[in-house]
Amino acid sequence: MYSCIYFLITGQKENRPLDKFQLTFPLRTNYMYAKVKKSLPEMYAFTVCMWLKSNASPGVGTPFSYAVPGQANELVLIEWGNNPMEMLINDKVYSR
């Protein structure tokens, strides 16, 4: 992840010590999140790839969330209760 973000910021490949990462996980909990330390160039598209294994019981969770200033729910993948997993885009449920 660091290499990808570093390349986006600088356009160069470079390996740095672990304490120089642009992405940090400030807490090690089941509510872990990451913060990007610097601003990224304007993005027009990005890809999220993940593998999820859900259990049969009702759950609450947010495996992916992307926020921007003024919009906490810019892009969110969320599961709550017995509802199927939903995608929020600009704080609205996306449906086909």
pLDDT value of position 85: 83
pLDDT in tens, 10-67: 666 655 555 555 556 556 665 666 666 677 788 788 888 777 666 667 777 788 888 8
The runs of H, that is alpha helices, within the chain are 2-10
27 vs 32: CA distance, rounded Å? 6
Average pLDDT rounded to a whole number, residues 1-13: 59
pLDDT in tens, 78-95: 888 777 788 898 999 886
pLDDT value of position 78: 87
What is the reported pTM? Answer: 0.55
